[in-house]
Structure 1
Amino acid sequence: MASALLEGLSGHVSAMCVLRAWEARLGDGSACDAAVVAVDRDDRGGLTWPRRPGSFVAFVLPRDTPAYCLLENGAAVDRHQSRGSIHVCDRAREWTLRPIDESVQFLAVGFEAGGMTSLCAPAGSRFVDFERDRDEMPQAASALLALARGIVALAPVTAAHVSAAMEHMLHAFLIGLASMQARFAPDGTGTSDRLAAWQVRKATALMRSRLGEKISLPEVAGSCGLSPSYFGRLFKKSTGLSTHQWIIEQRVARARVLLASTDLPIVEVAHACGFADQTHFTRVFSRRMQMSPRVWRRVASCNPAGAHVPPSGCDEPFDVPC
């Protein structure tokens, strides 16, 4: 077996069929171990990965699967049936994957904490850990499951160009996984002054989805795995605006569209865009647009196309590509 991921396995190892096991070199020079494994139904404990502090393993069951159970230090922590799933497990603890009804096929990806830092941590920060598994994975998990399905499908093919493609897919998988669940912290070097592109996208998408309600800085920072103060400083360096200023600009942009394209009373537009009341909305809108919402509506009715253009510095600069 070419992958260190399968070293030290215990349990009903004879029930395991390794379709492929390999070490993958990633684009940043780091490495990860991967294996595509099938396990027969097992009445004697499943497969157990021993403790290996500083390492993680992601179990990916990319398709609708038979029932299986995941155990942490011998205690069941998750049980799934008939749907794809992703589990990220800290190998400071022992993990067991146990099929229940019939054989299960899965992709296992092993990596070191230091490798995650070099692969996808923002400059001046380090990888800390992953959030624990959640009942509802983000919508982005569907993209990771699609990548895993592609890797599993290519596993039997040993051609060099296919192996290269699989390494790129694993690279993308780990970056996507980090964007959903990894937590980072300052590394003390003081070299970072900007967020990673995926953190900007994740933070702005979250704030944009909650424009009509209150959202706290700790909540936004937590979605990127950073402390509120560190996140706030990096966000302003990355976008030129504080999170509060960014939200206000987005709310004004939404109000412009609603004023131009609907007959909603101005007080309802204010509430739909997250402003406390019409007075506050009118004051903020007038300061930014140099005219009141009522006047803007009249002007926009004569030039509908202009109503949908976001104000300068509002939207496009923050959709940063990878």
Structure 2
Amino acid sequence: MRPSAADLPLCAGLDDPALDGLVRALACAGEATSAVYAEHWAVLAALRLLRLPDVPQRLSIAPWRLARSLALAEARLAEDVSLSDLAEAAGLSRFHFARAFRAATGQTPHAHLRRLRCERAKSLMEAGGMTLAEVALACGFAHQAHFTTAFRNVTGTTPGRWRQERLS
């Protein structure tokens, strides 16, 4: 006689009724269940586990890999650096690198690169002698409007206003 779902003493240490129901359905399926059916319920249970906030996610990047990608980003600020370039420097796939980078730094590779470019732009503007368009190109932005948008997103003000406040 096959047990009912209520008879199963399941205790995974997680208080999640949806996951509990999925595991009980899989356990009660019995031997006559097709492999496709069992795999379907197992995949649903695994996906539910991945979405639980209390389940720790092990997604890390080795410090040396992170350092190599950060060094490449710093060295090539004036150039067009792609996610593939940064991932290759770290020796990881683009997908894994992007997720691990965010987990390690709290920001995406693109946001980090944009912040680095804005920091360099600040130092160039403080040094003086360059127009905002020249600063934009020296920091790897496509044009001054691109620079202004990125700078405003990072600092909350435009480059012209930032420079004016620093010089006055």
Q: Which TM bucket (shorter chain)?
A: 0.5 to 0.7
| TM-score normalised per structure 1 | 0.34
Rounded Cα–Cα distance in structure 2 between residues aligned with 1:252 and 1:261: 14
Shift of 1:200: 1.2
Change (3 A) 1:204 1:277: same
Shift of 1:191: 6.7
Shift of 1:215: 1.3
| Structure 1 residue 295 corresponds to structure 2 residue 165 | no
Decide which of 247, 250, 253 is 2:113's aligned counterpart.
Answer: 247
Decide which of 135, 139, 148 is 1:282's aligned counterpart.
Answer: 148
Decide which of 80, 87, 90 is 1:221's aligned counterpart.
Answer: 87
Rounded Cα–Cα distance in structure 1 between residues aligned with 2:95 and 2:152: 31
Change (3 A) 1:192 1:272: same
SS of the counterpart of 2:119? helix
Letter in 1 for 2:78: G
Shift of 1:290: 2.2
5+ residue gaps, structure 1, are: 1-189, 303-322
Q: List structure 1 runs of 4+ shifted beyond 2 angstroms.
A: none
Matched with 1:211 is 77
Rounded Cα–Cα distance in structure 2 between residues aligned with 1:231 and 1:288: 23
Change (3 A) 1:191 1:288: closer
SS of the counterpart of 1:211? coil
| TM-score normalised per structure 2 | 0.63
State the Cα deviation string for residues 63-97 of structure 1 (Å, max 9, x = none). xxxxxxxxxxxxxxxxxxxxxxxxxxxxxxxxxxx
Structure 1 or 2, whichever has the larger Rg, is 2
Rounded Cα–Cα distance in structure 1 between residues aligned with 2:63 and 2:69: 10
Change (3 A) 1:288 1:217: closer
Determine what percentage of the aligned residue pairs are the same residue.
35
Change (3 A) 1:288 1:218: closer
Shift of 1:192: 3.6
Shift of 1:232: 1.0
Alignment of 1:133-212 (within 5 A): 192-212=58-78
Letter in 2 for 1:197: P
Higher strand share: 1
Rounded Cα–Cα distance in structure 2 between residues aligned with 1:193 and 1:290: 31
Shift of 1:224: 1.6
| Structure 1 residue 233 corresponds to structure 2 residue 99 | yes
Rounded Cα–Cα distance in structure 2 between residues aligned with 1:262 and 1:275: 18
Higher helix share: 2
Letter in 1 for 2:113: I
Matched with 1:265 is 131
Rounded Cα–Cα distance in structure 2 between residues aligned with 1:273 and 1:227: 27
Rounded Cα–Cα distance in structure 2 between residues aligned with 1:269 and 1:289: 16
Letter in 1 for 2:83: L
Letter in 2 for 1:261: A
5+ residue gaps, structure 2, are: 1-55
Rounded Cα–Cα distance in structure 1 between residues aligned with 2:84 and 2:150: 24
The CA RMSD over aligned residues, in Å, is 1.6
SS of the counterpart of 1:276? coil
Rounded Cα–Cα distance in structure 1 between residues aligned with 2:162 and 2:83: 31
